[in-house]
């Protein structure tokens, strides 16, 4: 870990040296002195900046998203459902202060300097536990083995009197009170006697009585009396031949919170404009692991410099019409998902628009960002346990055996490491031998517990992009400092061409991947094919292929339906936009094109603008291991609250598939989830 911190410190030191620049002007060097701009007079795109889970600007004083998700069969008294704990979430951003200063220097450099300070809070998952309980009907087979073999002691000791009788088997007896109630196996088998123990005449007389006798006279134990109620099981029982599955999900939340400073400087001369974006954030998960590393790292990053871009002045009038591609390039910065920003330093530039054939032409813009923060990594562990639940009494399937001596047609053999005794070589002996087979209806209960513990680790990322009017190319690389460092490199490209065509493609490769950070290749091509009466249609095709995930050997103790995620897809589809009041998208997922792909299936989604304030949505996605459908409603409350506010209602039905049981019945669980959310921006 010391090496990791050293590496991070070295990179930040290089960043500090490379990003420092100074712009100090005296009052006499300004045509327009730095002054604070009234917020209402400035468009938000000048200050709009992504800050963790929200986008901030100089207008909004705060944003809040609050909601609750709960499942079916929940208990209001305990706020606990049959399979899912009620999950409450809150995402909050509060503006402590913000201002924008603008100025114009005497060498015709226009400067806009936005500075904001923010408090943020977010509900984050700390631990997610999924418990799968499989109930399989079985018929448990049991066995009772009872036998004894006695004869003249002279076989063991030639000097023994010929009328003296000895045991030729040990005395082993199952303690029936020791049968484990979960596994139906004895935990104690007592040894009451040994081979060679002398048998009294009274005990010999007891053995001759009908039926198996394990106790002779005076409490003497003779022979084997073993009871094994579980020697194996067969699928199905007299009650059922269908297995079932139950799924329970427990979620433990924590808080991701802290204080951030945002600065966005834009400078422009007659020919081009430059932009510098800086974020300093102190915070993270305050009760999580790695706090002894994360918090000192966040504290140390507060002294890193702001990005203060420079421009060459001139006597030509500054152009304050900033190329919009520069704002788009800043927005196209690839930032790690669900992460906390400790330090972000971005620098971009773009030439001003030119006029060609009477039309304004926007040159492409560049933007590059160094990002340091804390990113979540799910550490997976699993366990498995089982037991038997009896659903009927034990019954006798068969009982066979007999007893007798030299005059009976009996042959018996007793063998030890030292000696073998065969009844056929004896003139006098007595044998008892009985076998009983049992059966019992049981349910085999197998419980698989999959635990995801989320830990935040330092994450260093570099990303850049080239953004034009009709295209955007991004490139990125980074290091995630887990116990085993994860590194990655990737790129993606989006382009509009031939007027109606749109292409997107992305590829990213990971070293030491896991179930969340893994290599994949994605691509999609779409074309708008018609417009009539303000209605449009489009066709599309695409694929997603994950070619490198966590090594399966790391999860060998999980069953196949947990170990082998199936999410590769190749699809074709069509989309319809009906006069802006309704949209429908239908896709056909083509199975068996890619390895580990979804089965052939249809998926449908759409939305309807029911009124100026209400939008209704619905979807259906029948994937291989998961099938879901649902609907939602978004209600715009701005007309009521005079602020940007939305009320969201949602329902989703989720079906999980777990493969087939021994009788080829599909095992599934079905759950309903309900969402109530409220979003408010003031």
Distance separating the N- and C-terminal Cα atoms of the chain: 43
Partners of 145 in beta bridges: 226, 435
CA neighbor of 278 nearest in space, from 338, 347, 327:
347
Provide the pLDDT for residue 566. Answer: 55
What is the residue-averaged pLDDT of the chain? 85
Which regions of 363-428 does DSSP assign to beta strands (E)?
365-390, 395-405, 413-415, 420-422
Phi, psi of 170 (to 5 degrees): -70, 165
pTM above the 0.85 mark?
no
- Residue 13's Cβ-count burial label (10 Å; 0-12, 13-18, 19+) is exposed
547: helix, strand or coil: strand
Cβ–Cβ contacts within 10 Å for residue 297, how many?
21
CA neighbor of 342 nearest in space, from 298, 278, 290, 377:
298
Residue 529 Ramachandran class (φ > 0 left, ψ -120 to 50 alpha, else beta): alpha
Partners of 278 in beta bridges: 263, 345
187: helix, strand or coil: coil
Provide the pLDDT for residue 86. Answer: 67
| pLDDT greater than 70 at residue 551 | no
Contact 390, 142 (CB under 8 A): no
pLDDT band at 543 (very low <50, low <70, confident <90, very high): very high
Contact 146, 221 (CB under 8 A): no
- pLDDT of 179-231, one tens digit each? 999 999 999 999 998 888 888 888 888 988 888 988 888 788 889 999 999 99
Instruction: Say how far apart CA 347 and CA 19 lie, in whole Å.
Output: 9
Phi, psi of 601 (to 5 degrees): -165, 165
Partners of 161 in beta bridges: none
Phi, psi of 311 (to 5 degrees): -140, 150
Residue with tokens 């998203």: 65
Provide the pLDDT for residue 657. Answer: 81
Instruction: Say how far apart CA 350 and CA 632 lie, in whole Å.
Output: 42
DSSP H/E element including 292: helix 291-301
Read off the pLDDT of each residue in 251-274 and give the average, rounded to a whole number.
91
pLDDT band at 639 (very low <50, low <70, confident <90, very high): confident
| pLDDT greater than 60 at residue 563 | no
**Structure token pair of residue 16:** 């500090």
Provide the pLDDT for residue 625. Answer: 54
Provide the pLDDT for residue 16. Answer: 42
Instruction: Say how far apart CA 570 and CA 592 lie, in whole Å.
Output: 9
* Cα–Cα separations (whole angstroms), residue 84 to 124, 125, 126, 669: 17, 14, 15, 13
Contact 472, 366 (CB under 8 A): no
Q: Helices marked H in 335-457 — which ranges? A: none
Which value, to the nearest 10 degrees, does the dihedral of the CA atoms of residues 152, 153, 159, 162 take?
-30
* Cα–Cα separations (whole angstroms), residue 214 to 178, 197, 211, 412, 413: 19, 14, 10, 18, 19
Provide the pLDDT for residue 72. Answer: 57
- Residue 143's Cβ-count burial label (10 Å; 0-12, 13-18, 19+) is middle
Provide the pLDDT for residue 554. Answer: 47
Provide the pLDDT for residue 40. Answer: 84
Read off the pLDDT of each residue in 122-136 and give the average, rounded to a whole number.
87
154: helix, strand or coil: helix
Contact 367, 326 (CB under 8 A): yes
Provide the pLDDT for residue 626. Answer: 64
In this structure, of 13-17, 332-336, 342-346, 473-477, the range with the lowest mean pLDDT score is 13-17
Provide the pLDDT for residue 355. Answer: 78
Instruction: Say how far apart CA 405 and CA 430 lie, in whole Å.
Output: 4
DSSP H/E element including 613: none
- pLDDT of 19-30, one tens digit each? 444 455 555 588
Provide the pLDDT for residue 417. Answer: 67
Provide the pLDDT for residue 348. Answer: 95
- pLDDT of 326-385, one tens digit each? 999 999 999 999 999 999 999 999 999 887 777 778 899 999 999 999 999 988 888 999
Read off the pLDDT of each residue in 37-50 and give the average, rounded to a whole number.
89
Instruction: Say how far apart CA 609 and CA 81 lie, in whole Å.
Output: 34
Provide the pLDDT for residue 610. Answer: 86
Phi, psi of 473 (to 5 degrees): -120, 125
CA neighbor of 376 nearest in space, from 125, 122, 92, 5:
125
């Amino acid at each position: 870990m010391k090496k990791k911190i050293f590496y991070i410190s070295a990179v930040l030191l290089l960043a500090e040296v490379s990003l420092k620049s100074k712009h100090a002007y005296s009052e006499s060097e300004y045509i327009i002195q730095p002054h604070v701009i009234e917020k209402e007079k400035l468009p938000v795109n000048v200050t709009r900046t992504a800050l963790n889970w929200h986008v901030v600007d100089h207008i909004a004083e705060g944003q809040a998203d609050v909601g609750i998700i709960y499942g079916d069969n929940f208990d209001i008294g305990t706020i606990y459902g049959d399979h899912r704990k009620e999950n409450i979430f809150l995402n909050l951003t509060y503006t402590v202060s913000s201002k924008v200063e603008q100025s114009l220097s005497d060498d015709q450099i226009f400067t806009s300097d936005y500075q904001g300070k923010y408090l943020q809070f977010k509900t984050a998952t700390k631990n997610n536990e999924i418990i799968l309980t499989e109930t399989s009907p079985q018929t448990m087979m049991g066995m009772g083995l009872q036998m004894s073999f006695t004869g003249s002691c002279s076989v063991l000791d030639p000097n023994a009197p010929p009328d003296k009788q000895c045991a030729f088997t040990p005395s082993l007896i199952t303690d029936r009170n020791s049968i484990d109630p979960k596994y139906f196996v004895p935990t104690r088998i007592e040894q009451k006697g040994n081979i060679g123990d002398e048998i009294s005449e009274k005990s010999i007389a007891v053995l001759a009585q009908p039926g198996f006798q394990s106790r002779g006279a005076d409490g003497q134990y003779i022979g084997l009396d073993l009871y094994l109620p579980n020697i194996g099981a067969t699928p199905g029982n007299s009650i059922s031949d269908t297995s079932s599955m139950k799924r329970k999900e427990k979620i433990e939340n924590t808080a991701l919170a802290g204080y951030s400073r945002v600065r966005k400087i834009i400078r422009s001369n007659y020919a081009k404009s430059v932009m510098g974006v800086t974020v300093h954030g102190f915070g993270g998960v305050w009760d999580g692991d790695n706090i002894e590393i994360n918090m000192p790292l966040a504290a140390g990053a507060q002294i890193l410099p702001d990005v203060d871009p420079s421009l060459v002045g001139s006597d030509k009038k500054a152009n304050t019409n900033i190329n919009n591609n520069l704002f788009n390039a800043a927005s196209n910065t690839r930032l790690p998902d669900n992460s906390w920003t400790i330090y972000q330093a971005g620098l971009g530039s773009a030439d001003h628009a030119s006029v060609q054939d009477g039309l304004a032409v926007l040159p492409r813009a560049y933007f590059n960002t160094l990002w340091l923060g804390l990113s979540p990594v799910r550490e997976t562990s699993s366990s498995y346990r089982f037991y038997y639940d009896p659903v009927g009494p034990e019954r006798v399937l068969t009982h066979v055996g007999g007893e007798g001596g030299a005059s009976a047609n009996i042959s018996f053999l007793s063998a030890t490491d030292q000696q073998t005794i065969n009844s056929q070589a004896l003139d006098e002996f007595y044998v008892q031998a009985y076998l009983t087979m049992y059966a019992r209806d049981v349910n085999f209960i197998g419980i698989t517990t999959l635990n995801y513990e989320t830990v935040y680790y330092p994450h260093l990322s570099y990303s850049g992009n080239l953004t034009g009017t009709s295209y955007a190319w991004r490139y990125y690389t980074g290091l995630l400092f887990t116990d085993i460092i994860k590194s990655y490199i990737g790129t993606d490209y989006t382009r509009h061409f031939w007027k109606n065509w749109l292409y997107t493609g992305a590829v990213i490769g990971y070293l030491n991947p896991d179930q969340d950070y893994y290599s994949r290749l994605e691509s999609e091509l779409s074309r708008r094919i018609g417009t009539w009466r303000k209605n449009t249609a489009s066709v599309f095709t695409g694929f997603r292929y994950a070619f490198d995930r966590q090594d399966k050997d790391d999860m060998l103790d999980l069953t196949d339906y947990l170990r082998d995620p199936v999410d590769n897809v190749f699809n074709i589809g069509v989309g319809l936009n009906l006069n802006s009041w309704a949209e429908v998208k239908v896709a056909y997922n083509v199975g068996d094109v890619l390895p580990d792909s979804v089965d052939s299936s249809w998926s449908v989604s759409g939305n309807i603008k029911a009124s100026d304030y209400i939008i209704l949505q619905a979807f259906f996605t029948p994937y291989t291991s998961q099938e879901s459908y649902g609907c939602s409603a978004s209600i715009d409350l701005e007309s009521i609250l005079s602020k940007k506010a939305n009320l969201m209602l949602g329902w989703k039905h989720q079906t999980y598939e777990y493969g087939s049981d021994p009788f080829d019945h599909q095992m599934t669980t079905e759950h309903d989830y309900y969402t109530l959310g409220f979003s408010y921006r003031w």
